[in-house]
Amino acid sequence: MTTEYPYELALPNKYQNITRNIKFYETYSTKVIVGIQVKRQISPTLDVLKEVIITAIEAQKIRDKLNEKFGSNPNIGPRDKNNEIMLYINSFWRTLVFQAYLFLKKESITSTGDHPFGKAIDLRCPKGMTPADFCEFIDEQCDTLFNWFKIYSWGCHCSRR
């Protein structure tokens, strides 16, 4: 199954939407400066852009399905100014250097993984759902290309392997 993506392979503007609700800067990697993690500092490279866009499209499907299924439930959130459930991205694309740093700090189970290739995203669990329920919802109800999940205390890691 092929997912279509609406952009030519050129790096978008930092604040450009790459889906209806995901801005390009949300895909940026964290940078470590003197042992301090500074989020969203490094843009994905052109060689991974296609995969990053596909992953963003798949994440948008999750947000859309959350709103379709739980939009009328005020206990699921947080909400934006249009009262839509938002999807918080904890981590998206990562440089290999940052991925290796996380592995050495024991914050990742792998020194490479799917993040450096644009095929993984970490999503914070919406208020009103448990991380296990959130991962199950994504896996069973969102019809995405994600096929590997890991549950964390804060949410769900989703990968296309």
Question: Could you read off the pLDDT of 118-159 as tens digits, one per residue?
Answer: 999 999 999 999 999 999 999 999 999 999 999 999 999 999
In a domain, 5, yes or no: no
**Tally of domains within the chain:** 1
Is the pTM here over 0.85, yes or no?
Answer: yes
Neighbours of 46 (CB within 10 A): 10
pLDDT in tens, 61-87: 999 999 999 999 999 999 999 999 999
> CA dist 76 to 66, 70, 85, 130, 151, Å?
9, 7, 7, 11, 19
In a domain, 9, yes or no: no
pLDDT in tens, 11-62: 889 999 999 999 999 999 999 999 899 999 999 999 999 999 999 999 999 9
In a domain, 134, yes or no: yes
> CA dist 103 to 85, 96, 109, 110, 152, Å?
32, 10, 6, 6, 16
CA dihedral (142, 143, 144, 145) positive or negative: positive
In a domain, 2, yes or no: no
Q: Which two tokens stand for residue 102?
A: 């996380």
In a domain, 29, yes or no: no
In a domain, 115, yes or no: yes
In a domain, 26, yes or no: no
DSSP structure class, residue 142: S
Residue type, 57: I
Domain hosting 91: range is 38-159
In a domain, 33, yes or no: no
Q: Which two tokens stand for residue 21?
A: 């609700």
